[in-house]
A and B are shown apart, each in its own frame.
Chain A
Amino acid sequence: MGGLQKKKYESGSVTNYVSRNKARKKLSLSLADFRRLCILKGIYPHEPKHKKKVNKGSTAPRTFYLLKDIRFLLHEPIVGKFREYKIFVRKLRKAYGKAEWSGVQRMKENKPAYKLDHIIKERYPTFIDAVRDVDDALSMSFLFSTFARTGKCHVQTIQLCRRLSVEWMNYIIASRSLRKVFLSIKGIYYQAEVLGQTITWIIPYQFAHDHPTDVDYRVMATFTELYTTLLGFVNFRLYQTLNLVYPPKVKHTKCASIKCVFKDMHLHISYQKLSALSASLARTVPLVEDEEAELDLFPAEGVSDRQLSYIRMCCTLCRCFGGQVSWDKSLCIGSTYDETDETITHHIVDRPTIDKQYINRYYIQPQWVYDCVNGKILLPVEEYFLGVTLPPHLSPFVEESEGDYVPPEKLKLQALQRGEKPQDDDEEEEEDDDDDDEDDQSEDEDEANLAEMEEKRAQGKSLSVKVTPGKVKPENRMRAEQEEKAEEKRLAIMMMKKKEKYLYDKIMFGKKRHVREANKLAAKRKAHDDSNKADKKKKKKKC
């Protein structure tokens, strides 16, 4: 037979994949640059269907990229920029070594820079795509905006992140698109609906970060680079849709009274005012002020810088839902009215007590605001007064399907939402207790009778024979039917094929585990409630 012998691993799926190192060499980039490129261009590895074949018979763990992806990277202008930057660094090093300071200066001025605009356009060809993917960008930029100048990243990046996150928050307020908020132990989750897309992001609590050593900040910085660009463009477009000026400006600029000599100073103050999130933004087309029913006024009062951040969070919420907010003037810039204002309805305080209290307003803890937002109703304020043990704060993201465990607080909230009046739990509980007692008593009586009879029989005494009319045991038809059906099912399961049986068992196992978990939670809750009740009773008795 003629013809050349076919060589192994030269055709088929092997030709579609390329290992990471090969790809790197093809692009003639260092590993770090390759990584950056992949992050920026959104190229991720692919898992071949037959790994051993693609790996040319070896089973070594290797990362594979699609050859098409790598070819696509080949004509990316940024690759050239990376190389330029490498050369720039080399030249700069040389100039430093030779102590050519003027050369260093000149080179630094001509530092090669690149823009990611085209990549954003390419990765997100439509605006909706970009909005859909903005979750991670927001979380990252909010995280970076909380960083201090510790050298973990460039100061410009931090400032940019702060600016973009404040802009985003302002948009959320202006568009009133916030839907859910959740105070978790990790940070605060926000969920907004922007142009029909549900976007969730998390903001860490305002603390100094304990920077971990096992985190590669270069990777994070690369992501942030991409995300800030994306977020900037998204913000721009979103502001445009609302007819707002971008970059945002505060509408009623009282700053005019502050004669700012330096431009920078002025910028700083306006940024601060903006980040206070308390004032509405200037519009490109002036709107006729629509008369909004002013829901509430929430002055918050705080002391430390940390509380300042809380105020901002609270403020975002309230303003998202049409409230007005202010705080003590001495705290920070941007307060719109005074604490002594008579029209204030709710006063948010996060401390055990407060000295001077006004009669015509409620003093409540901040959780009330969050719970109201999640419940979409004004909850009764009694449970949230100062110094009161707060009711549990539930996650608004959990949507219980059938068979899941629903915490009783959620049930209560749902009842409130339906407009049912909340019943007084304590009374109900007491009634329940009484019922239980009665049941117990009757059961006890029965048992006592039986025991008596048994005793007599044991002693050999002739029982006083008495014929009592027998009770007709009602045949429970429903139950019988159910049993029959269950048996039918059992028998049918016997006839399943092995493969299907395996799948069926697996599904049923998962379902059972689900039920078990739900039951466990319910049992735990019951135990907790019981112990609580017992404690209460003890206290009552003592009284």
Chain B
Amino acid sequence: IGYGRGVFIEITHRCRTRFKVALATSENFQLSAVTSVCARLSQTKKSLFSDQSSAWFISSPSCVMFLWRTVKWAVSLLVFITFSVRSQDIRNTVGNIPMEWYKDYPHIGYDLDGKKIFKPIRNKDELDEFLDKMENPDYWRTVQDKMTGADIRLSDEQVDLVHRLQQGKFGDVNFNEYEPAIDFFSNEVMIHPVTNRPQDKRSFIPSLIEKEKVGKLVHAIKMGWIKPRRPKETTPQYYDLWAKEDPNSILGRHKMHVPAPKMKLPGHQESYNPPPEYLLSEEERLAWEQQDPEDRKLSFLPQKFACLRAVPAYSRFIHERFERCLDLYLCPRQRKMRVNVNPEDLIPKLPKPKDLQPFPTTQSLVYRGHSSLVRSISVSPSGQWLVSGSDDCTVRFWEVSTARCLKTVEVGGAVKGVAWNPNPSICLVAVSYDDTVVLLNPGLGDRLVCTATDQLISSYEEPEEVMDQSVQWAVAEGEGHEQGHRLILKHPKAVRQVTWHGKGDYLACVMPDNGSSLQVVIHQVSKRRTQNPFRKNKGLVQCVSFHPIRPYFFVATQRYVRVYNLIKQELTKKLMANCKWISSMAIHPGGDNVICGSYDCRLAWFDLDLSTKPYKVLRHHKKALRSVAYHRHYPLFASGSDDGSVIVCHGMVYNDLLQNPLIVPVKVLKGHTITHDLGVLDVTFHPTQPWVFSSGADGTVRLFT
């Protein structure tokens, strides 16, 4: 065998004719070719290696290895490429190239002598092919040699070989693959040696080098330099690890150590035979299955088994242990101080309502008569009469103690506000509807007072110089006069609220209109004069109020309450209510405290001496507050809300400036029914008694005593 650009194999075979193989003269040398050759070789391996006539020329040592390996490998593969041994020795030397390169040439390659090999002259078409197929009995064993283009008829021997190879048998017919194996090196000790070769000399002469080495080792063992290997301990050795417990040896870090919390102990539902109430019902089970495993309250489904032997293995046991392991080494640990708060301790300690009596506790009278919601009520300064204005365009006068309606006055629109003059020597009621404010003389009570009032009004003399006023004053005449109308004030806009000054001469009206300069007007009844106190109003004015003693004027816009000094004509204070929309306001009779009710359920108590921010904010109502009121003498205030309740609170204000006001809710009064999402619309206190009146959207006025 030569190794280089090509491989020449020359084999003298014992049983075959001598043949010469020229292989791959070009780079197209392929392994398959070699293997196929080797396959052939391997068939006759036995004979080959014993045959001395085989000539092997190997140019590189690795080639030997390679060839030997391929030989072994090829036995199993049996790749077959025909190297037909032909009688005529035409060999194409072009190598393994695509033969279509010679398509257009008359020759198909070159033989060993370098002469052209011409293609056989043939012009067979499909028909010829078919006829050939039909007629030629050897057609099936005819093969075209690609290299020469010649048709070759396979001999019987060759066909047989093909069949054998196809069946995965050895190519050689005579080869017996099941030859009995001769085990030369068996456990049987034979009397004769396998080889007859005489022993080497070195096999019976002791080695000097070894002797030297052994001597060294013996010496080392003698000297104790080499010790025998200690037997390995396979089982761990335990001893008393804590024999010498030294409290000083505890590391500082151990004090900081947070021990892992123990696992939760199982409850009844984990039992194999739990009480029936712990088993999940069908719906609960479905809900459990649909829940995310992380959200589940129980990590398992409670089950019941009739006896212990029926209990199966728990499939998530290893998971649970593993999760515990993960928790132990992955979870950050923190010491969390759990404050065990007793909820009772959170409730503030307040004086008992019983000790804070008197305050209204029960509903005692209901004033029925109005057919629509009662927007506003007011009590006469004597406390004997009550006036109420309703959306059914009437104003009714009631006797407080009997709940009898003494008088009904019809006005030209839904009544927005009523206010009884606080001066006991004047009997006047201001009623506002649409853009009109009417001053009524109900003619109740002391005749003298009534007539005096009428006289006071009629005694008015027109001033000489007529002022241009935005409000028109007119004296009621005819039917109106008989009903009690005395003065009619026409405003440019709808009036929402009327309120009297404590002396009973001044009357303030609110005409809410965002951004307008004319939102609040103050009338002086005795002089029939109207003032517009503000050049400009900031925001939407909700309600106004006079200070009971001093010349202050309170204006509540949506979020702020502004306090003006009427004499100095300046802003003294601006109270921040901390709520979205103020609905109502009331001034403490002492004048230093203000409460504001708002539509966002808050009631803010301001201490004017303390701060401009609320001293206390109560959120005791469930719905928007509509009205708030102070009692004139008793330390009480009340708030009415859309949730239909009136809450009466004790609001004690001390003379001592250092002591903050004491606010204690004392009673929740319920009675009004909620109609159209409106409950209580107005609350007001009786001037002398600890009684509270409330008017509601259900068209009733109620008295709580």
Residues of A within 8 A of B (CB): 35, 38-39, 42-47, 63, 68-69, 72, 109, 115, 117, 120-122, 124-127, 130, 132-133, 135-136, 139-140, 143, 156, 160, 182-187, 189, 200, 204-205, 207-212, 214-216, 219-220, 223, 228-229, 232-233, 235-237, 240, 246, 307, 310, 350-351, 365-367, 389-390, 392-395, 397-398, 405, 407-409, 484, 487-496, 498, 500, 503-504, 507-508, 511, 521-522, 524-525, 528
Contact = CB atoms under 8 A, between A and B. Distances in A.
Contacts of A125: 245, 247, 249-251, 254
Contacts of A187: 314, 317
A51 B207 CA distance: 75
Given A491-B350, A504-B343, A524-B276, 13 more contacts: A183-B308, A219-B326, A219-B329, A220-B325, A228-B236, A236-B241, A351-B309, A367-B273, A392-B275, A395-B267, A409-B275, A496-B348, A507-B343
B343 A508 contact: yes
B315 to A, nearest CB: 6
Interface residues of B, number: 85
Contacts of B254: 125
The residue in A133, A232, A395 that gathers the most chain B C-beta atoms within 10 A of its C-beta is: A395
A186 B270 contact: yes
A524 B277 contact: yes
Interface stretch (B116-124, B162-170, B330-338, B455-463): B330-338
Given A125-B254, A215-B319, A500-B346, A395 B313 contact: no
Nearest to A201: B263
Contacts of B321: 139-140, 143, 220
Nearest to B326: A219
Contacts of A127: 242, 245
B266 A493 contact: no
B275 A367 contact: no
The 10 closest A-B pairs by CB, nearest first: A207-B313, A397-B265, A494-B620, A525-B277, A47-B332, A524-B277, A232-B238, A392-B275, A184-B270, A127-B242
B336 to A, nearest CB: 11
Contacts of A189: 265-266
A115 to B, nearest CB: 8
Contacts of A246: 238
B604 to A, nearest CB: 14
Contacts of B141: none
Contact of A44 (B241, B247, B329): B329
A216 B329 CA distance: 13
Contacts of A182: 266, 270-271
Interface stretch (B42-50, B184-192, B374-382, B661-669): B661-669
B235 to A, nearest CB: 7
Given A185-B311, A240-B240, A503 B332 contact: no
Nearest to A522: B277
Contacts of B318: 143, 209, 211-212, 215
B666 A229 contact: no
Contacts of B313: 204-205, 207-210
Contact of B277 (A228, A492, A498, A528): A528
Contact of B239 (A42, A47, A124, A236): A236
B308 A495 contact: no
B312 A495 contact: no
A390 B307 contact: yes
Interface string B239-267: 11110010101110110010110110111
B618 interface: yes
11 contacts: A125-B251, A125-B254, A136-B328, A205-B312, A215-B319, A220-B321, A310-B308, A350-B307, A367-B308, A409-B275, A500-B346
B352 interface: yes
B527 interface: no
Contact of B341 (A43, A160, A185, A503): A503
Given A215-B322, A216-B322, A496-B346, A185 B270 contact: yes
Nearest to A229: B236
Nearest to A64: B332
A232 B242 CA distance: 12
B242 A126 contact: yes
A365 B320 contact: no
Contact of B268 (A122, A216, A395): A395
Contacts of B341: 503, 507
B272 A183 contact: yes
B215 interface: no
A350 B308 contact: yes
A45 B665 contact: no
A235 B329 CA distance: 25
B56 interface: no
Contacts of B235: 160
A204 B240 contact: no
- The dominant DSSP class at the A interface is helix
B242 to A, nearest CB: 4
B347 A223 contact: no
A44 B331 CA distance: 7
A412 to B, nearest CB: 11
Given A184-B270, A310-B308, A489 B347 contact: yes
Nearest to B339: A503
A45 B332 contact: yes
Interface in B333-361: 333-334, 341, 343, 346-350, 352-354
Nearest to B268: A395
Contacts of B267: 395, 397-398
A39 B314 contact: no
A471 B432 CA distance: 53
A390 B273 contact: yes
Contacts of B332: 44-47
B312 to A, nearest CB: 7
A30 to B, nearest CB: 16
Interface string B79-110: 00000000000000000000000000000000
A402 B340 CA distance: 16
B317 A143 contact: yes
A160 B238 CA distance: 12
B274 interface: yes
B300 interface: yes
B306 A39 contact: no
The residue in B302, B350, B618 that gathers the most chain A C-beta atoms within 10 A of its C-beta is: B350
The residue in B325, B349, B618 that gathers the most chain A C-beta atoms within 10 A of its C-beta is: B325
Contacts of B330: 44-45, 63
Interface string B423-464: 000000000000000000000000000000000000000000
A205 to B, nearest CB: 6
A184 B305 CA distance: 11
Contact of A38 (B238, B242, B278, B329): B329
B314 A237 contact: no
Contact of A223 (B236, B257, B314, B328): B328
Contacts of B319: 212, 214-215
Contacts of A228: 236
B324 interface: yes
Given A492-B348, A495-B663, A365 B307 contact: yes
B155 interface: no
Contacts of B667: 491
A127 B250 CA distance: 12
Nearest to A497: B348
A130 B322 CA distance: 21
B303 interface: yes
B234 interface: yes
A496 B350 CA distance: 11
B240 A394 contact: no
A408 B257 CA distance: 43
A42 B234 CA distance: 26
A392 B328 contact: no
Nearest to B257: A42
A181 B317 CA distance: 18
B233 to A, nearest CB: 9
Nearest to A525: B277
A130 B319 CA distance: 25
